[in-house]
Amino acid sequence: MSIDTTPAPRERIDTTTPALDVRGLKKVYTGHGRDVEAVRNLTFTIRSGELVCIVGPSGAGKTTLLRCISGLLDVTDGEVVLDGKKVTEPPPGMAVVFQEYGRSLFPWLTVRQNIELPLKEKGLKKAERAEKVQTAIDAVGLTDSADAHPWQLSGGMQQRVAIARAVAYEPSVLLMDEPFAAVDAQTRADLEDLVRDLWHKFKVTVLFVTHDIDEAVYLGERVLVLSHRPTVILEDVKITLPDERSQLETRSTKEFADLRHHVYEQIQKAKQGFRPDGDTA
Ligand SMILES: Nc1ncnc2c1ncn2[C@@H]1O[C@H](COP(=O)(O)OP(=O)(O)O)[C@@H](O)[C@H]1O
Ligand SMILES: [Mg+2]
């Protein structure tokens, strides 16, 4: 199998600088009379410009991990370092796209205004804001809906707005938490390709979380497989598929099937409670 072969690094991106360093991360929820250890000991590095997927079963602690990384949740132990700085609150260089796009957009603002808002908070001048907003709107294919309100758009289009808003912000790291879980299969395929397009175009570092194995393999350069809760990393799988991906061609190659098979096996092990640390949950 080809999963151990390192892919040729993409030329125009510096893949040596760590953008995000997660070290010994642990999160225990306390309160209500009982403690829940969601994440036990997570350590991984994402280099600048990489597109890394994290895949793990439902309840594995994926959202908890992203909330810790984005500074929305205090960690119990360990640390998160973004661009060399320890994260203690939501860092300015990070943008997050959540699963519930409906709740993340402001209904009283138009598409354009929703995308512009974080740029205002960033302190950009009006002309610069307008230009970045327009570029992002065009990039996600919403040129004709720029002045519509979110409630006038389909779920898939609303998620495009959320993605455009995150990209326009030009974050050094873009976090995505199961962003396509609530859209139909066809839209989902389009949005997956959109993420890879935007990643190529804007050279942003992406951490994409999903429970969907096919999606993780199709999108990522690397797939981190999470164990069952309390979560540790089971495996860091290199995705050796060509950089140019296509829903039709890539997904029907033997290499894709092999990778999918391999990750699937790991997830099955995770569900059965296998842990590399030998502990029981
Ligand atoms: N606020 C909370 N308080 C207590 N337990 C929580 C809280 N949020 C999540 N959990 C628990 O932590 C575990 C991981 O949850 P989560 O991070 O949402 O997993 P995933 O996103 O992988 O489905 C689950 O057992 C969940 O019930
Ligand atoms: Mg989740």
Instruction: Give the CATH number of the domain where residue 223 resides.
Output: 3.40.50.300
- ∠ CA 228-233-234 to the nearest 5 degrees? 75
Residue nearest to atom 1 of ligand 1 (CA): 29
pLDDT tens for each residue of 149-183: 999 999 889 999 999 999 999 898 999 999 988 88
Asked if residue 134 and residue 215 are part of one domain, the reply reads no
Asked if residue 185 and residue 77 are part of one domain, the reply reads yes
In a domain, 54, yes or no: yes
Tell me the pTM: 0.89
Position 60 scores a pLDDT of 85
In angstroms, what is the span from residue 178 Cα to ligand 2's centroid? 7
In a domain, 2, yes or no: no
- Asked if 251 contacts 242 with a C-beta cutoff of 8 angstroms, the reply is no
Q: Which residues pair with 37 in a beta bridge?
A: 28
pLDDT tens for each residue of 227-255: 877 788 889 999 999 999 999 999 999 99
In angstroms, what is the span from residue 210 Cα to ligand 1's centroid? 15
Choosing from 118, 142, 170, the residue where a domain stops is 170
Helix (H, G, I), strand (E, B) or coil at 121: helix
Q: Which residue segment(s) compose the domain that 248 sits in?
A: 17-93+175-281
* pLDDT bracket for residue 222 (50, 70, 90): very high
| Number of domains composing the chain | 2
In angstroms, what is the span from residue 51 Cα to ligand 2's centroid? 19
Position 27 scores a pLDDT of 94
Position 5 scores a pLDDT of 42
Ligand 1 pocket at CB < 6 A: 29, 36, 38, 56, 58-64, 229
- Among the listed ranges 11-15, 24-28, 45-49, which one has the minimum average pLDDT value? 11-15
Helix (H, G, I), strand (E, B) or coil at 219: helix
